[in-house]
Chain A
Amino acid sequence: MRFVDEYRDPAAARALVSRITELAGDGHYKFMEVCGGHTHTIYRHGIEHLLPTSVELVHGPGCPVCVIPMGRIDDAVAVAQVPGVIFTSFGDMMRVPGSKGSLLGAKAQGADVRVVYSPLDALRIAAENPERLVVFFAVGFETTAPSTAATVLKARKDAVMNFSIFSNHVTIVPPLRAILESPDLRLDGFIGPGHVSTVVGQLLYRFVADEYGKPFVTAGFEPLDILQAIAMLLTQFSEGRCCVENQYTRCVSEAGNPRALAIMSEVFEVRPQFEWRGLGFIPESALKLRPQFARWDAELLFDVPGVRVPDPKACQCGEVLKGAIKPWECKVFGTACTPETPIGTCMVSSEGACAAYYNFGRLHRQVAVTMGGPR
């Protein structure tokens, strides 16, 4: 239990672990967490090594960088290579490999690719460079989509006509449903995403409990939050309840942020389907700009290849993202695929399960194994 000493309140952590062990009893519970930030916390603080063997954590597709298929990266690179374009992107998309290299590779070959913190930075670059076409690589769940939407509205209001977005925004509910429908996954409950839920609220997760009979607890990012959420899930089982609960009441309300949702819906519509790495095509799971914003839609302004590119044969990101295998069970983990030489997205993104495990989890697992721990 040595890692517990690093927690803000080790006594509380130990108490929670005792409670979890007691509640889980002789059962075996598999809980999925769907937030890259949670994956990071879990590995960084060795949470899986604190838990009894009766509780297993499985990592889900909550990393919006990780789920983008190679073909979409190729599309982004193609746009970046159009003469005169300034292609802007969040930092963690830069090294994701497409079939012909990454955005970082395109930059090295002379494309004007710039890392931005905010879509507003990209809009400012457009306003300051009226003779160039500026494109923003819009990635993220509902945490980020409202910000892209607000930026597009601002572009329209300020009449910035040399700005466009390449939308790869995805939504949280469809992959949850796809995972629940998947025959090869037997999950007992979910730890719900933190900051996505500040926008979307809690009500939309109800189908998980009501239609599929699995409990769902939204959690914050502290290790104690995650332990508490696990305790809340197990308490539901012991009391014969099944519902959506909120451990992160400090930041998440039932309704979420209605204004953010309204702005998002004013600007975006749902695509009929979208390809997710590892999960295939999921209906109504991604966002594109509404027709009245066509003028700011990079997919309409530029010729993107639009080719579907399967993952490299060695890559098992799909199975990691679905929670079917753990990072260390991937055949190329740590050998051909490392943060320096990534094959797939799970290793590139700072929130990816493989990157998190590579950077933090391996040492804890090694220590736990030598100490005679569970796994």
Chain B
Amino acid sequence: MCLGIPGEVVELLDSNTHLAKVDVAGVRRNINIDLLEDENVAPGDWVLIHVGFAMAKIDEAEAQRALASLQLMGQAYTDEVQAVIESQIA
């Protein structure tokens, strides 16, 4: 539940509502980047996502490592990814 999962920012959607489209494990969904407003998030950046919000920017190498280690967590990770996939943040 408190897991942050890595995702790649693919598009900035609406600066007013702080929406960005991210790719999480191959699936594209919207998340809110309000908490990273001071960090100039851009397409290509990798972020840690938790409950629909980007919490921190991480570099791509770290993101790949984090993905690999999260996948070792098995069900908890797949549940978290599934939750992102089912979310409809707009």
- Report which A residues bind B (CB closer than 8 A): 6, 8, 35-37, 40-41, 44-45, 64-65, 90-92, 116-121, 124, 140-141, 143-144, 146-147, 150, 154, 195-196, 198-199, 220-223, 225, 250-252, 257-260, 263, 349-351
Contacts and interface: CB of A to CB of B under 8 A. Distances in A.
Contacts of A44: 72-74
Contacts of A223: 69, 72
Contacts of B58: 250-251
A141 B50 CA distance: 12
Contacts of B1: 36, 64-65, 90-92, 140, 349-351
B3 A37 contact: yes
A143 B74 CA distance: 21
Given A37-B2, A91-B1, A140-B2, A222 B35 contact: no
Contacts of B37: 259
B12 interface: no
Contact of B89 (A118, A195, A196): A118
Chain B interface size band reads: 35 or more
A143 B52 contact: no
Given A141-B2, A263-B34, A257 B56 contact: yes
Contact of B2 (A6, A144, A220, A259): A144
A257 B10 CA distance: 22
Contact of A259 (B3, B35, B51, B75): B35
A118 B62 contact: no
Interface of B: 1-4, 17, 32, 34-38, 48, 50-53, 55-56, 58-59, 62, 65-66, 68-70, 72-76, 79, 83-84, 86-90
B52 A117 contact: yes
Contacts of B83: 91, 117
Given A259-B35, A350-B76, A146 B56 contact: no
29 contacts: A8-B68, A44-B72, A65-B1, A116-B87, A117-B87, A118-B89, A119-B51, A120-B52, A120-B53, A124-B89, A143-B50, A144-B2, A146-B35, A147-B32, A147-B51, A154-B17, A195-B2, A195-B3, A195-B4, A195-B55, A198-B4, A198-B48, A221-B66, A251-B56, A257-B56, A259-B38, A260-B55, A350-B1, A351-B1
Report, nearest first, the 3 A-B pairs whose CB atoms are least far apart: A118-B52, A222-B69, A117-B83
B51 A118 contact: yes
A80 B73 CA distance: 32
A260 B51 contact: no
A147 B62 CA distance: 23
B32 to A, nearest CB: 6
A117 B35 CA distance: 17
A350 B62 CA distance: 25
Nearest to B38: A259
